[in-house]
Chains A and B, each alone.
Chain A
C-alpha cells in the first residue's frame, strides 16, 4: 500500500523538482559560471513568490505576474552586484546583506508573512492539484529557459561572462568589463531564481516569508547531483543545464522517499546541508589526500 502511495507521489515530486531545478540553474550561473557564491537567492526566490502572489490575488494576469516577479529578482541581483562591485563588499557578505534587506521587503510586499493563492479562486498556470498539466507547463518553461541560456552563453557577451568567471585577470587584459559582468550575472541569476519562486508559489498555492530558507543549499545540491549524474556525457552546455534540473528532480525523489520512510521532516534541512558539505569537500580531499603527482615523478626518476 505504502509503495503505491510513494509511487503516486513521484509526479508531484518531479514537478517540485523541476521548479527547484530552475532555481538551481540560477545558482549554477553564479556558482559555476561566474565563480561567485551568491546567497541572495534565499531572499530573491521569496521575492519572486511574493510579487507573484500579490499580483495574482489582485487580479493581474498570471503571465504579467511572472514577468514582474522575474524583474523583481533581477533588481535583487543588481543590488547584490552593487554591494559587491561598487562598494567592494565580498560576494558572500553582499548576498547576505541583500537577503536580510529582502526579508523586510518581502514582508512589505505581502503585507503579512503568508499569502494564499488558491488555484480554485485564481487563474494560475500550475497547481499541486493538477500535476499532469503542471508537469507539461513546467517542461515548457524548462526547455525555453535552457534554450535561451544556451543561446546567450554562446554569444560574445555570454562568452565574456564565462571568461570573467574562469580567469578575471585575463578577462581584464582582453578588455572585458569584469565588474559590469559580475553585476549582470548576478541580475540574470536572481531573475531566474525569482521566476522559480513565482512558479513555486502557484504550484503550492501560497507564498511564505520562509519559503526561501536554505534555497541556496537545495540549489547547490541540485547542481552537484546533476553534475555527478551527467558528468560522463555532458560536454554540451544545454545538457549540463538539463543535468541541473535533473539534479533538482532527483533531490525531490529522495526527499519524497525519505518522507515516506518516516523520517522526521524537521531533520531534512540538516541532512541536505551535510550531504552538500560532503560533496563540496570531495574535490578538496581528492587533491589533498589522493593525488601527489610530484612524488610519483620523483619515484619514476629514482
Chain B
C-alpha cells in the first residue's frame, strides 16, 4: 500500500540549525493498516507525514503509494491519493467559504476543476446526511462560513473532507491535540468510525500514549528521525503505557522526555 524506502531529510543543512529530521526511514504499510505514531518532540512524526504528503522533497529515498512512485510528485498532485487532517483546526478548511463549498472542494480532490458549477443539488443532499451524522447541528448551517465554527466543529468537517472522496491513505497529524478533552474524544471516536466504515489505511500521529495503544492495529515509536519500535497485532493490543516507556528507554538509551505524553 504505502512504501517508504530509506527516506532522509535534513533541515538547514550546513548551518548551526542543522537538524536531521528523518534518518533513513523505511516502512511498509499493508492495506487496511491503521498505524498510530508516537514519539517525543522533534522525533520526526509530523516530518514523516509531510514527506508522504509532499510538502517538500526528501533528500534521498523513495515513496510509493500502491506501487506508484510519488517521490517527485508535487503536493497538489499527490493529494488525489491522500486525505489529510492537521493539528491546527484552522488549517484544514477555508474560513471564508461556506461549509458546503468546503465539502464540494474536497469532493473534487484529484479531479480537473472546470467551468461546471461548484456544487450540485445531489451533492448537497449527500453533505446534509454526512453532516447530520456528525451530530453537531451543522446540517442546518450548510451555507454558514466555516470561520464561524468552533475548532472541534472545523476539525470534524476537515475529517469529513479528508474522507469524502475515499483516499488511499489517511494522514492524521495530531488532529485532536488542539481540542479540549471532550471534543478530542468525540473527534477521535468519529475518526475510528470513518476508518472502520470505509476500511481506510491510516496513519495517526498522537502525543497520547493511551490513544496510541487503544486505536489502530499497529503502533510505531519514533526517536531522532528513526523508527525505533514497530509493533502490531496481538502484541500491540497487550501493550501498556509502562511497557511502551520501557521499550523507549531500551531502544533509545534515554528517558522518554515528554510530559504531555506521560500525563495523559
Contacts and interface: CB of A to CB of B under 8 A. Distances in A.
To the question of whether A and B form a pair in one complex, the answer is yes
B109 A174 contact: yes
Interface string B80-106: 101010100011111111000100111
B94 A155 contact: no
B97 A159 contact: yes
Interface string A135-164: 000000000000000001011111110110
Contacts of B84: 173
Contact of A172 (B76, B104, B113): B76
Given A155-B118, A158-B118, A159-B104, A174 B97 contact: no
Nearest to B158: A170
B110 interface: yes
A178 B117 contact: no
A160 B105 contact: yes
A166 interface: yes
Contacts of A172: 75-76, 79
A156 B75 contact: no
B96 A166 contact: yes
Given A163-B97, A170-B94, A175 B79 contact: yes
B22 interface: no
B5 interface: no
Contacts of A152: 115
A165 B115 CA distance: 19
B108 interface: yes
Interface hub of A163, A167, A174, A177 (most chain B Cβ within 10 A): A174
B53 A170 contact: no
Interface string B208-249: 000000000000000000000000000000000000000000
Interface hub of A154, A156, A157, A171 (most chain B Cβ within 10 A): A156
Contacts of B14: none
A210 interface: no
Nearest to B111: A175
A165 B86 CA distance: 19
B161 interface: yes
Given A156-B108, A159-B104, A170 B114 contact: no
A152 B118 CA distance: 10
Contacts of B118: 154-156, 158-159
Contacts of B80: 175
Interface residues of B, number: 32
A213 to B, nearest CB: 32
B94 A176 contact: no
Interface hub of A157, A173, A177 (most chain B Cβ within 10 A): A173
A214 to B, nearest CB: 28
Contacts of B86: 169
A160 B117 CA distance: 12
Given A162-B97, A174-B161, A175-B79, A156 B92 contact: no
A31 to B, nearest CB: 13
Nearest to B104: A159
B28 to A, nearest CB: 24
Interface in A29-81: none
Contacts of B76: 171-172, 175-178
A170 B79 contact: no
B109 A170 contact: no
Nearest to A33: B96
A156 B114 contact: yes
B113 A156 contact: yes
Contacts of A178: 76
Given A174-B79, A177-B76, A157 B97 contact: no
Given A163-B105, A174-B109, A156 B95 contact: no
B96 to A, nearest CB: 4
B182 interface: no
B116 A156 contact: yes
Nearest to B109: A175
Contacts of A173: 53, 75, 79, 82, 84, 92
A20 B256 CA distance: 63
A167 B95 contact: yes
Given A154-B118, A158-B118, A163-B105, A175 B77 contact: yes
Contacts of B94: 162-163, 166-167, 170-171
Given A167-B95, A173-B75, A174-B106, 18 more contacts: A155-B117, A156-B104, A156-B113, A156-B117, A157-B113, A157-B115, A162-B97, A166-B96, A167-B90, A171-B76, A172-B79, A173-B53, A173-B79, A173-B82, A173-B84, A174-B79, A175-B76, A175-B109
Interface of A: 152, 154-160, 162-163, 165-167, 169-178
Interface of B: 53, 75-77, 79-80, 82, 84, 86, 90-97, 101, 104-106, 108-111, 113-118, 161
Closest 6 CB pairs of A and B: A175-B79, A166-B94, A156-B113, A159-B118, A166-B96, A175-B109
14 contacts: A154-B118, A155-B114, A156-B104, A156-B108, A156-B118, A162-B96, A165-B96, A166-B95, A167-B90, A169-B91, A170-B93, A170-B94, A173-B82, A176-B79
